[in-house]
Structure 1
Amino acid sequence: MTGRHVLTVAAPSNTLIGLVRTVTNTDALGGPEVEIETQVRGSSGFLRGEFAAGPGALAALERDLGAFSAEHRAARWTVHRHDQRPRILVLCSQQGHVLTHLLSRHEDGVLGGEIAAVLSNHDRHAAKVRAHGLKSVHIGWWAQDKHAAERELLALVHEHQADLVVLARFMQVLSGSLCDELAGRMINVHHSLLPAFVGGRAYHQAHERGVRVVGATAHFVTAGVDEGPILVQKSVPVERGQVSPGLLAEAGRDAEMLAMAEAIRLLCAGRVIPHGQHPVIF
């Protein structure tokens, strides 16, 4: 059965021409049905392709890519069905605006992936999550036993076969070992335009500095708090009357929701290739 697939490849930049040739020359795969984009960053090259292929053509492509990777050891690639929606585990705390936005997009079928479950260290959103027909998990003792809580989180990731873990204003610092375990698969939204105003009181810091623009940053999660590679940033102008941290936070909530939703869409569509501190985005 023919289906549409997405291919992403990272390889040395001097191999890109050969890589494009490898993809377009694969038996039964070439022609106008193949859409290819490439980017170059110094000595690194990146490719994203979309194509229609049946099992035979897909097997041929994977064989050819395997041979390419064997020849060029630095190359790495992934291929998945376009209609195979990634599974998402959402984490949240008391603030629910980002979660509510994601639930709405999920219900409308425009999130890009499927929410498998929602985990929270508070139970105030449980009824709302269940109203959307989704599983709600409460770990109220997170701060008392972080290691046990993180083991439970990883168990949920495996149980629900989550492709992406989304921190929707989840106000807990995660361990370096957990960040390493989920590297490239876990994203957060921070309530400032990073790298400025890191930490939990970003709007207070912004107010103290008299900012004229507030915003939000969706980024990969790393062991360094609010230091992960940036995926999406959204900004909102500050009106003259917005002169308190609370009013700045009110203005910034839309930016938080939009930044996270856009990051999820890009990741679920296979439009992001992790690359150090500067992800490649197609």
Structure 2
Amino acid sequence: MTTNTTTYILTGSSQTKLGVLDLIISSLYRNDCYAYEMHTFDDADTDRFFFRVEFNYRGNGEFSEADLRSQLADRAEAYEVKWELRDLAIPAKVVILVSKYDHCLQDLLHRYSTGALNIEIPAIISNHPDLKKQADWYNIPYYHLPVTAETKAEQEAQMWQIIQETGADLVVLARYMQVLSEDMCKKLHGRAINIHHSLLPGFKGAKPYHQAYDKGVKLVGATAHYVSEDLDEGPIITQGVEPVDHTYTPERLVAKGRDTERVTLARAIKLHVEDRCFLNGNKTVVFPGH
């Protein structure tokens, strides 16, 4: 018996009903595939079942992805299962949107270059020219698309063209300080991630960390979520929190907050590109990663 070292991921969801789990396991078994990691979740509130399976081929001869797809399609139709199958070795194409703050961008570029994130970055888009040198260092195309209230529709049309031409699987707002239009949010539904600070009480507007300092906060945090038409209120993927105390100046709070933002964003991207995130209404189902 041989082992195909290529890892495949089977993900999907369906209404809760008998036989769905058997469909998954038996389909893999019939094709000599070994499931070495499996996660499932049955949401009693929505009566919906979610699953994620990592597997590889353990049979003799060559593995036929087409045969497995055909069998899954035939059997899944009867159970109304929405499913996807992909080779985990193929990196996700990620387009990054950024303005002037570079901490999240720098972190993602480093993780990309070291292989810590299984992604390709075919484009970086910004409404400012400031961070082009970072893109040039990694030989990534940098698109400077200035935007004003009058040119927003035109700028987003250019942005959408780049996203389509690069075949982007995911769009990441790495401190992109512009609000996407409702139309763009709908186009990017389920495949755009944003990061923002999470401070309690909620401090909005300019200099939130300075506001937090004035209130003597004891925690700083960050939230990574899918983009939605409601600003900063999309389905949450992951959150980070770090303790602070009375010795923290506004500048130290900002530094701590930025560290939390970059780590939280990277974690969310990793979960997404490993197909561990599922939209479930206004919430998410997120299966744990390594």
How much identity, in percent, do the aligned residues show? 34
Match of residue 228 from structure 2: 222
Match of residue 20 from structure 1: 21
Aligned residues: 278
Q: Take 1:67 and 1:84, find their aligned partners in 2: how far apart are those partners?
A: 26
> Against the structure 1 CA distance between its residues 101 and 278, is the aligned structure 2 distance closer, same or farther, given a 3 Å change threshold?
same
The reply on whether 1:152 has 2:155 as its aligned counterpart is: no
Cα drift, residue 205 of structure 1 = 4.3
The reply on whether 1:274 has 2:255 as its aligned counterpart is: no
Structure 1: runs of 5+ lacking an equivalent: none
Q: Take 1:155 and 1:187, find their aligned partners in 2: how far apart are those partners?
A: 19
Q: Take 1:84 and 1:200, find their aligned partners in 2: how far apart are those partners?
A: 41
The reply on whether 1:247 has 2:252 as its aligned counterpart is: yes
Q: Take 1:51 and 1:280, find their aligned partners in 2: how far apart are those partners?
A: 20
Which of 52, 56, 73 is residue 56 of structure 2 equivalent to?
52
Report which stretch shifted further, 185-194 or 121-130: 185-194
The reply on whether 1:4 has 2:7 as its aligned counterpart is: yes
Contact 2:35 2:53 in 1 (8 A): no
The reply on whether 1:262 has 2:261 as its aligned counterpart is: no
The reply on whether 1:165 has 2:182 as its aligned counterpart is: no
Alignment of 1:1-282 (within 5 A): 2=4, 3-15=6-18, 18-26=19-27, 28-30=30-32, 32-42=34-44, 43-53=47-57, 57-73=64-80, 75-192=81-198, 196-197=202-203, 201-244=207-250, 246-282=251-287
Contact 2:199 2:212 in 1 (8 A): no
SS at match of 1:191: strand
> Against the structure 1 CA distance between its residues 279 and 197, is the aligned structure 2 distance closer, same or farther, given a 3 Å change threshold?
farther
Q: Take 1:209 and 1:192, find their aligned partners in 2: how far apart are those partners?
A: 14
Q: CA RMSD in A?
A: 2.3
Cα drift, residue 34 of structure 1 = 4.7
Cα drift, residue 183 of structure 1 = 0.4
Counterpart code for 2:222: A
Q: Deviations over 1:224-274 (max 9, x none)?
A: 010001111111111322243x43212211100000100111111111111
Contact 1:86 1:268 in 2 (8 A): yes
Cα drift, residue 31 of structure 1 = 5.7
Contact 2:7 2:54 in 1 (8 A): yes
Counterpart code for 1:131: W
Q: Deviations over 1:118-148 (max 9, x none)?
A: 1111111101111111111101235431111
Contact 2:34 2:56 in 1 (8 A): no
Cα drift, residue 64 of structure 1 = 3.1
SS at match of 2:283: coil
Contact 2:108 2:266 in 1 (8 A): yes
Q: Take 2:114 and 2:63, find their aligned partners in 1: how far apart are those partners?
A: 35
Contact 1:193 1:233 in 2 (8 A): no
Q: Take 1:228 and 1:271, find their aligned partners in 2: how far apart are those partners?
A: 17
SS at match of 1:279: strand
SS at match of 1:14: coil
Structure 2: runs of 5+ lacking an equivalent: none
Report which stretch shifted further, 59-68 or 78-87: 59-68
SS at match of 1:265: helix
Counterpart code for 1:279: T
Report which stretch shifted further, 107-116 or 179-188: 107-116
